[in-house]
């Protein structure tokens, strides 16, 4: 008999397939486990407005964790937790010299800002229709923000930037790779794992009674927090190396999450 009462799942590279959508098969499996009384939670680095579309597609009546744990919204879409990066740190991050091949983005509460239009990002948000506003980051220096992200086709430059930022802002912010080409920054102490602890406490569900699925380094503490964590077959190699002994399941393109949920619960 399976005693798990909650499932927490990342979106990109995990629940979403290579087309950045949720397959019909995955929707069916999640609907079936919901009828068993299993709570299903999304925990993503995406913006709340963006992730909300996927929660609605799945018909979930549950807390929503976004921006790597910086925001939590309840089942009625009311913000119940928010932890932004303070403006004095925001200013210093904006002032860090960035290679021209690296693009920067900012989430600030209900908005998403870019310094210039990036058409390659549109495919990630076709389901939600959520889009960015082009704005000079100089105008955001005196404001707190929810999350920074840096993307580039040149992964080595992202890795170099990670080294620089971790050295410069040690103990001040949480810096993680969500993809090999995407580096993300949230406030210190903020993570998916911390957010999961909060919502499971509110739901009166024990940590050991929860499962989680992820593929990126921003999923690391989430997978370590719950009773059982599963790695996608397409997971970041550093994540797999960081979690020896954790079960690696099928890829996101092959409905790995749905197949494993079916195996566990159905």
Under the phi-then-psi rule, with left for phi > 0, alpha for psi from -120 to 50, and beta for the rest, what region is 58?
A: alpha
Long-range contacts of 21-25 (CB under 8 A, 24+ apart): 21/127, 22/54, 22/57, 22/58, 23/255, 23/258, 25/255, 25/258
What whole-number distance in Å separates Cα of residue 150 and Cα of residue 164? 13
Among the residues of 180-255, which ranges form H helices? 192-203, 220-225, 237-242
The C-alpha torsion from 177 through 7 and 209 to 66, rounded to 10°, is 50
Q: What is the number of helices (H) and of strands (E) in the chain? A: 8, 14
Among 10, 50, 215, 221, the one annotated catalytic: 10
In the annotation, is 221 catalytic? Answer: no
**C-beta of residue 230 within 8 angstroms of C-beta of residue 247:** yes
What whole-number distance in Å separates Cα of residue 194 and Cα of residue 93? 24
Helix axes 24-35, 256-265, angle to 10 degrees: 30
Burial 207-218 (b: 16+ CB within 10 A, else e): eeebbbbbbbbb
User: Scanning the structure block, which residue is given the tokens 């990630």?
Assistant: 124
- List residues with catalytic annotation: 10
């Amino acid at each position: 008999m399976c005693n798990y009462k909650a499932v927490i799942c990342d979106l990109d590279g995990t629940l979403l397939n290579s087309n950045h959508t949720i397959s019909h098969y995955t929707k069916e499996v999640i609907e079936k486990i919901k009828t068993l009384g299993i709570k299903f939670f999304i925990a993503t680095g995406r913006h709340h407005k963006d992730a909300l579309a996927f929660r609605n597609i799945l018909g979930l009546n549950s807390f929503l964790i976004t921006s790597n744990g910086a925001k939590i919204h309840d089942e009625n879409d009311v913000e119940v937790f928010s932890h932004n990066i303070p403006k004095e740190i925001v200013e210093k991050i904006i002032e860090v010299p960035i290679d021209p091949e690296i693009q920067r983005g900012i989430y600030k509460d209900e908005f998403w800002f870019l310094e210039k239009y990036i058409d390659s990002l549109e495919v990630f948000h076709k389901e939600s229709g959520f889009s960015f506003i082009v704005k000079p980051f100089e105008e955001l220096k005196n404001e707190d923000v929810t999350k920074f992200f840096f993307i580039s086709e040149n992964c080595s430059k992202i890795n170099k930037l990670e080294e620089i930022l971790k050295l410069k802002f040690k103990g001040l912010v949480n810096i993680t790779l969500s993809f090999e080409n995407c580096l993300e920054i949230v406030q210190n102490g903020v993570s998916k794992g911390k957010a999961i602890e909060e919502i499971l406490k509110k739901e009166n569900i024990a940590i050991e009674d929860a499962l989680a699925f992820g593929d990126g380094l921003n999923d690391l503490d989430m997978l370590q927090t719950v009773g059982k964590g599963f790695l996608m077959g397409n997971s970041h190699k550093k994540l797999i190396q960081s979690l020896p002994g954790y079960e690696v399941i099928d890829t996101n393109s092959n409905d790995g999450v749905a197949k494993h949920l079916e195996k566990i619960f159905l």
